[in-house]
Amino acid sequence: MTSPDPDPNTNNPTPFQDWTAIILAAGRGARMRSSLPKVLHLVAGLPMIRHVTNAAREAGFGRIVLVLSPDTEGIAEAAGPDIVVAIQNEPLGTGHAALAAQQAAEGSSHIVIMNGDLPLLTADTLVETATTHLETNALLSFVTADLDDPTGYGRVQRGHGRVQAIVEETEADEAARATPEVNVGIYTVRADWLWPALEALVPSPSDELYLTDIIVAAASEGEVATYELPDASEAQQVNDRNELATAEMIMRDRVRQQLMLSGVTLADPATTYIDAEVEIAEDTTILPGVHLLGRTTIGSQCQIGPNAILRDSTVGDRTEIGSSTIEGAQIGDDVSIGPYCHLRPETVIADDVHLGNYVEVKASQVGEGTRIGHFAYVGDAEIGQNVNIGAGTVTANYDGILKHRMEIGDRAFIGVNSVLIAPIVVGTDASTGAGSVVTHDVPPGAQVLGVPARIRSNEGDETGAE
């Protein structure tokens, strides 16, 4: 099944326009043993909660309500756009948390309640379970999975095939623990039935209001339907850091598989780490040991790696990047970089540029066709087209207090081991001799050399650069 239009800004109504998804994220998350709220821990580079809200948005629910505790900072931001926040004042259980969303969900026909610690759950599953719910006319439906190791989950208790209750791990006897069928933590309910049922909950043995107890109520009043996950890995919850690592592994596998199906070659998927939001076009090859992180986008027919790290960067088509670290950079088409380069944020590399071994570029623009072959530091510079920067060139951009910018014009030729002391402008077609220390602007077409560098006239005598 294809999911409805994920774009909240379009007016295409989805079948779930008057539905509300309530996402529970107000729990203590004590088993994580972390000062960071559980749902802010990252899975494939995105906060866990973002995976959950993305799935809810993509499924097309008209409203998304996020239940948070009063003192959690950063979760609403991490959840992304178009979210309504409801506050659960004290973490008195999942049933109590759902109740906190009542006002925010007013006017909805149906409610989908989702645990906030299910980062692998997909929009397709939400659509399937919601659709199944409508088809069965059940009072309540919930998602189940058959797990090889159901430890930690509430077990589904059935009598003559019908769901009777959910038994939490802590309260389960041996027979219940042996049940592989678990409650995943996604519930679909008719709104008019839900609120009175939540208000009628009584505290569990652990003194919490269990959301799962509304299943008992629903079973005694009408039909309860279940939707079993075809892919049980979607059920992976995250209560502790072992489960976080498992979720991470499953998510990374999924990302790699999707990329390979879309035409990207991963020479060794097991050693290739790709975050959830990374985009790669067809016929690009990713060699072993590569990390593609954050919002990185790579064009087609590129070759990346081995052992490259790219974070929040954009790469054009047919570009080759050998083992290098690239952060917050924009790189054009037909570029070759590395091995052993470091590109730092706000660097823009135009088409047909060559950066060889051990080149560091920071907050600089490098124009089309420019070559920086060996051991160089380029910081806060604007370099024109077809410039040649010799081995060992350093832009001295920092005077101990301030960073200064510099410009190097088109076709300039910077000799090996030049030190260019910013702020300066090296004119178009200008050149510097090997070992020059350039302290003043170099006029277009001029040649400077020496320490400090002086202009070399046509007759061969040397004068000051300015």
- Which residues of the shown chain bind ligand UD1 in the complex (CB under 6 A)? 24-27, 67, 88, 91-94, 96-97, 115-117, 153-154, 166, 168, 182-185, 210-212, 237, 239
DSSP one-letter string for 135-200: HHT-SEEEEEEE-S--TTSPEEEEETTEEEEEE-GGG--HHHHT--EEEEEEEEEEHHHHHHHHHT
Give the range of 157-165, 239-247, 297-305, 422-430 binding Ca ion by CB under 5 A. Answer: 239-247
Q: What letter represents residue 435's amino acid?
A: G
Give the range of 18-26, 154-162, 234-242, 354-362 binding Ca ion by CB under 5 A. Answer: 234-242
Q: Choose from ligand UD1, Ca ion, none: what does 194 bind? Cβ within 5-8 Å by kind.
A: none
Give the range of 113-121, 227-235, 386-394, 453-461 binding Ca ion by CB under 5 A. Answer: 113-121
- Report residue 50: phi and psi, to 5°: -65, -35
- Closest contact distance (angstroms) between CB of 205 and Ca ion is 18
Residue 225 and residue 81: Cα distance in Å, rounded? Answer: 32
Q: Which is nearer to ligand UD1, 116 or 427 (CB)?
A: 116
Q: Which residue is nearest to Ca ion (CB)?
A: 237
Should residue 246 be labelled a site residue for Ca ion when binding is judged by CB under 5 A?
no
Q: Choose from ligand UD1, Ca ion, none: what does 214 bind? Cβ within 5-8 Å by kind.
A: none
Taken in order 145, 149, 155, 161, is the CA torsion positive or negative?
positive
- 23 is written with which tokens? 């996402």
Q: Which is nearer to Ca ion, 117 or 275 (CB)?
A: 117
- Closest contact distance (angstroms) between CB of 75 and ligand UD1 is 10
- Closest contact distance (angstroms) between CB of 79 and ligand UD1 is 12
- DSSP lists the bridge partners of residue 42 as 47
Should residue 237 be labelled a site residue for Ca ion when binding is judged by CB under 5 A?
yes
The active-site residue out of 160, 374, 404, 440 is 374
Q: Which is nearer to ligand UD1, 188 or 307 (CB)?
A: 188
Residue 338 and residue 357: Cα distance in Å, rounded? Answer: 5
Give pairs for 77-80: CB < 8 Å, separation 24+. 78/39, 78/40, 78/47, 78/49, 78/50, 79/23, 79/49, 79/50, 79/53, 80/50, 80/53, 80/54
- Closest contact distance (angstroms) between CB of 217 and ligand UD1 is 14
**Residue carrying structure tokens 């030049």:** 418
Q: Which is nearer to Ca ion, 129 or 236 (CB)?
A: 236
- Closest contact distance (angstroms) between CB of 204 and ligand UD1 is 7
Give the range of 56-64, 112-120, 159-167, 435-443 binding Ca ion by CB under 5 A. Answer: 112-120
Q: Which is nearer to ligand UD1, 53 or 183 (CB)?
A: 183
Q: Which residue is nearest to ligand UD1 (CB)?
A: 154
Q: Choose from Ca ion, ligand UD1, none: what does 128 bind? Cβ within 5-8 Å by kind.
A: none
Should residue 212 be labelled a site residue for Ca ion when binding is judged by CB under 5 A?
no
Structural Rg of the chain based on CA atoms: 30
Q: Which is nearer to Ca ion, 31 or 344 (CB)?
A: 31
Residue 385 and residue 371: Cα distance in Å, rounded? Answer: 9
- Closest contact distance (angstroms) between CB of 170 and ligand UD1 is 8
Residue 202 and residue 11: Cα distance in Å, rounded? Answer: 42
Peptide bond into 306 cis (omega under 30): yes
Q: Which residues, at least 6 apart from 329, have a Cβ–Cβ distance to it below 8 Å?
A: 313, 314, 343, 344, 345, 346, 347, 348, 349, 361
374 is catalytic: yes
DSSP 8-class letter at 2: P
DSSP one-letter string for 367-385: -TT-EEEEEEEEESEEE-T
- Closest contact distance (angstroms) between CB of 137 and ligand UD1 is 24
Q: Calculate the CA 150 to chain-centre distance.
A: 29
Judged by CB under 5 A, the residue of 20, 61, 117, 311 near Ca ion is 117
Q: Choose from ligand UD1, Ca ion, none: what does 384 bind? Cβ within 5-8 Å by kind.
A: none
Q: Which is nearer to Ca ion, 129 or 436 (CB)?
A: 129
- Closest contact distance (angstroms) between CB of 119 and ligand UD1 is 11
Q: Which is nearer to Ca ion, 157 or 237 (CB)?
A: 237
C-alpha distance from residue 294 to each of 277, 314, 339, 346, 362 (Å)? 7, 11, 22, 15, 19
Active-site positions read 374
Binding interface with Ca ion (CB under 5 A): 117, 237, 239
